[in-house]
């Protein structure tokens, strides 16, 4: 790829990410409204917002600009919790996986209730989390234990 084509690709990628971030900001504001309406305290609301923001504005945009709706699919939620979050986030602990999964479920519930995603997408997300969370927690615990073999090592 020539330098000019690469520069064009980067500009287009960044422009698309900026467009998605603007839409995501609206989604995060809606989530905040819903969480406050549910009676959650500001500190709890802010934790959920940070967790969701990391997922939709960092993880989903890291390799290609992906819309928030894509994040409800098995491919992305399992890759995020089952690999990326454990290996790439220094703060990953089993407790942080649980709280982030809770935040993401609340987010997609809000998106479903507001008509931004289909019921099937929300149900699929909750099923993925329910069926996989114990594996993610166990892998995280093993990965964080220096005396245990790396669960991600091919050897």
3-state secondary structure of 90: coil
Give the pair of three-digit tokens for residue 142: 């093993």
Backbone φ/ψ region at 154: left (φ over 0), alpha (ψ -120 to 50), beta: alpha
Q: For residue 63, give the nearest of 80, 82, 47 by alpha carbon.
A: 80
Assess whether pLDDT exceeds 90 at residue 3. Answer: no
Residue whose tokens read 């390799």: 63
pTM of the model: 0.92
Instruction: Write out pLDDT tens, residues 48-62.
Output: 999 999 999 999 999
């Amino acid at each position: 790829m020539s330098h000019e084509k690469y520069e064009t690709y980067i500009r287009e990628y960044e422009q698309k990410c900026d467009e998605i971030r603007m839409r995501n900001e609206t989604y995060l504001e809606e989530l905040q409204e819903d969480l406050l309406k549910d009676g959650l305290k500001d500190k709890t609301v802010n934790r959920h917002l940070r967790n969701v923001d990391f997922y939709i504005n960092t993880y989903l945009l890291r390799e290609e600009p992906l819309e928030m709706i894509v994040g409800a699919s098995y491919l992305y939620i399992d890759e995020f919790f089952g690999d990326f979050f454990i290996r790439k986030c220094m703060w990953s602990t089993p407790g942080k996986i649980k709280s982030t999964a809770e935040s993401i479920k609340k987010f997609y519930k809000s998106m479903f209730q507001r008509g931004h995603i289909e019921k099937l997408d929300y149900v699929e997300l909750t099923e993925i989390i329910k069926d996989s969370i114990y594996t993610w927690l166990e892998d995280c615990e093993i990965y964080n234990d220096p005396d245990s073999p790396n669960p991600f090592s091919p050897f």
